[in-house]
A and B are shown apart, each in its own frame.
Chain A
Amino acid sequence: MGSILVFLTVLIVCGAWWLSRQGLMSKPWLEQGVPVGGPAPRGAPTSTEKVGLGVFLAVVGSLFALFISAYSIRMQMPDWRTLPLPKILWLNTGMLVLSSVALRSAQSAARRDEAGELRLALLAAAVTSLAFLSGQILAWRQLTADGYLLTSNSANAFFYILTGIHGLHLLGGLAALGMTIGKAWRQDNAPERLRLSVDLCAMYWHFLLLVWLVIVSVMAGWAGDFIDICRQLLA
């Protein structure tokens, strides 16, 4: 259960830091009136959606951290046979990086009100994401063709589950990206709403890229090696 505990520790530290700036030491029974200059309680509508997505990403992060915890516990059983990662995963990883980069440039295009560049960047992000998903399916087919079936070993089952759940999250993100692209094509939308949508998509994509990198490094065994090295350094 190490990885989920590390994840929660990070969240708790962030939460404690945030709370420490919210006047947790104040004595509310001595204070009257409306605070001036304090933290603005009623946020602008933009930040509410970002906070919402942030909390949602914490939930998704917890989900993946728990899967990785389960992976590392199950891995210690004697029947575990790590499966070789298909080469195509590196191409897929490249695609996902590209789509994150495309969304980053979409963000800057939205800031500069460059409608054409924005549409191009959003489309590029969608295309590279679809390429990533098709690549993942190819990886699945390659593995099943090579005899690494879902039921033959738990390492295989974890591969299918982790990539599958990650893919489902990306698919959900693509629905949101589709709506954002629709907004970018219609002219009647307020530019700040469009900018917000692009920001939210970018945030979600960067997060899924991060999750993907963690998953790959766990499944490739690098994360385990890294932890072993740390352990030796400590010992």
Chain B
Amino acid sequence: MTDVPFVHVGPSAESDDVELYHPHSWVTKYVFSQDAKIIAVQYSLTALSVGLIALVLSWLMRLQLGFPGVFSFIDANAYYQFITMHGMMMVVYVLTALFLGGFGNYLIPLMVGARDMVFPYVNMLSFWVYLLAVLILVASFFAPGGPTGAGWTLYPPQAILSGTPGGQDWGIILMLVSLMVFIIGFTMGGLNYVVTVLQARARGMTLMRMPLTVWGIFTASFMALLAFPALFVGAVMMLFDRALGTSFFLPAIVEMGQPLERSGGSPLLFQHLFWFFGHPEVYIVALPAFGIVSDLISTHARRNIFGYRMMVWALLAIGALSFVVWAHHMYVSGMNPYFGFFFATTTLIIAIPTAIKVYNWILTLWRGDIHLNVPMLFALAFIVTFLNGGLTGLFLGNVVVDVPLSDTMFVVAHFHMVMGVAPILVIFGAIYHWYPKMTGRMLDDTLGKIHFWVTFLGAYAIFFPMHYLGLMGVPRRYHEIGEMAFVPASAHSLNAFITIAALVVGATQLLFVFNLFWSLRHGRPSGGNPWRATTLEWQTPETPPPHGNWGKETPVVYRWAYDYSVPGAPEDFIPQNQPGTQTMAGTAHG
């Protein structure tokens, strides 16, 4: 038994002292809502819509790569525009917004036992500013010259010159402005996520009792708050270069035969700023995924998470380390070899806390009572996929291996595995897991299983062959490979195969969207706690929880989040807000 001063008390008698703004009309309840749960749904639906646009863009790119020349409207310009918009949309406007704006808003207040975010008005603004950013971004499709085709990294000088689509038109300006607006909106939301975790936890919810989902989102929000300013600075400076004629990034350069009146700028400076944001961004997406997967695995294997403390420490270590690896994206920029050595070392060190997490997930599964339902399938698929993408990351982290592979499809395959497929599998798993809490109904199981298997196997059909293409030397960023001596004809049939797989996987996502809307009406009623889970969000008095979440009294937390299959307990889970009996403690967990 513990010697820490813990006491057993009854439920809190006093009513909560937080004043909530209560909506009076349909508009303030569902449109300009200050309820974090509504804002979460708004964020998620917007992000999923952007995701569907990005999905169509990836179809178009794949059509060109698989069947070059067949679709005449996909010329080189259009191809680069599709690549750029697909990348930027997925990384920033879908993944970041979904994990932090969507799941962060929905889960943080419920999981820590708060009534709402601490600054609900700012939280509402956060969504509307995000929507504005999305609209500006989408508007660039309709602007003269179309969206920017600079690649999602927007490297200058090409991003703001006339050879690049959108470079001397509206495309790049709208992109930069949209990013700046997004960052302002995110900062409003991020302040809420962080401060709510710090300040609004229920009685008894110590930091070390928080579910790992909250730890993941909390750490990622902090990182995003500190990393996004780098993108902001880069965007401001590039906007000045493009619109006002400064030379931050533009060296003396000849454009279309005409020397520009610029000199001395450093394109590398932008790369540093971009990747100082860009690398933490990988973990801004990954850490919430890590947290959510930990909870899914523990819940559906009916087993306490293995090495909870180590999981928390690993999250924090990854968060801190991810700020000192950015230049591994710049090995081919001609940097000093000593820098390359330093950044290769830090990159490989990050593998240690990450590997700890993978071991702990597997050890959680060991001898668990594994329920292979849809959320669990997605969680397991994540572990495999993340491991896979992580291992190729170890390849690319080494300078000597990275340099020859850097401009090939291998890199595309690597980051899609680790940062595309893996987090999206978690998003799907999380939606299947928490949808019953949001709506009171289960998503359809058969549709879910079809969705899972096609998505999982299809993703591998797309990205496994791509590694092979990369090793053969098939370059990325090329609109058309054409005839290259070192690329055998079989590479073209492989490309066609990948395209067909991508079309099938994409179409399957429509099944998922259908499931989301169909189950809203026709899904099986779920009750308040269909997964028999321990964490607070499943213990709300009503499902879906109303504004304020908890009725008259906020919950009191008596235990950690992972009391599954405790020997001697009447059920195989003990909710966090259930007062304990002394006899049960201590002997329960080895």
Q: Tell me the A residues contacting B by CB distance below 8 Å.
A: 1, 4-5, 8, 11-12, 15, 19, 22-39, 41-43, 45, 47-48, 51-52, 55-56, 58-59, 62-63, 66-67, 69-70, 73-74, 77-80, 150-151, 154, 157, 161, 165
Contact = CB atoms under 8 A, between A and B. Distances in A.
A73 B264 CA distance: 12
14 contacts: A19-B316, A24-B312, A26-B4, A28-B560, A29-B562, A30-B586, A32-B580, A55-B191, A62-B229, A70-B248, A77-B264, A77-B265, A79-B264, A157-B240
Interface of B: 1-2, 4-9, 17-18, 118-119, 187, 190-191, 194-195, 198-209, 222, 225-226, 229-230, 232-233, 236-237, 240, 244-248, 261, 263-266, 268-269, 272-273, 276, 304, 308-309, 312-313, 316, 320, 323-324, 556-560, 562-563, 579-580, 582, 584-586, 588-589
Of the candidates B17, B225, B229, B266, the one having the most CB atoms from chain A within 10 angstroms of its own CB is: B229
A27 B208 CA distance: 8
Given A37-B5, A55-B194, A150-B244, A42 B204 contact: no
A35 B316 contact: no
B513 to A, nearest CB: 35
A32 B244 contact: no
Given A38-B206, A70-B269, 4 more contacts: A23-B207, A24-B312, A63-B232, A66-B273
A32 B559 contact: yes
Contacts of A45: 17-18
A70 B156 CA distance: 15
Contact of A33 (B9, B190, B240): B9
Contact of B263 (A31, A35, A58, A79): A79
A51 B198 contact: yes
Contacts of A25: 309
Contacts of A22: 206-208
B228 to A, nearest CB: 8
Nearest to B114: A42
B225 A55 contact: yes
Nearest to A73: B269
A33 B6 contact: yes
A70 B240 CA distance: 14
A183 B5 CA distance: 43
A80 B264 CA distance: 8
Contact of B272 (A1, A41, A157, A165): A1
A52 B191 contact: yes
A35 B272 contact: no
B205 A26 contact: no
Nearest to B246: A157
Contact of B9 (A11, A34, A56, A73): A34
For B8, B207, B585, which residue has the most chain A Cβ atoms within 10 angstroms?
Answer: B207
A117 B126 CA distance: 37
Contact of B233 (A5, A29, A66): A66
Nearest to B241: A157
B226 A42 contact: no
A22 B309 CA distance: 13
B324 A5 contact: yes
Contact of A73 (B200, B272, B304, B313): B272
Nearest to B229: A63
A234 B264 CA distance: 31
A33 B203 CA distance: 10
B216 to A, nearest CB: 15
Contact of B208 (A24, A48, A58, A63): A24
B179 to A, nearest CB: 14
A5 B582 CA distance: 48
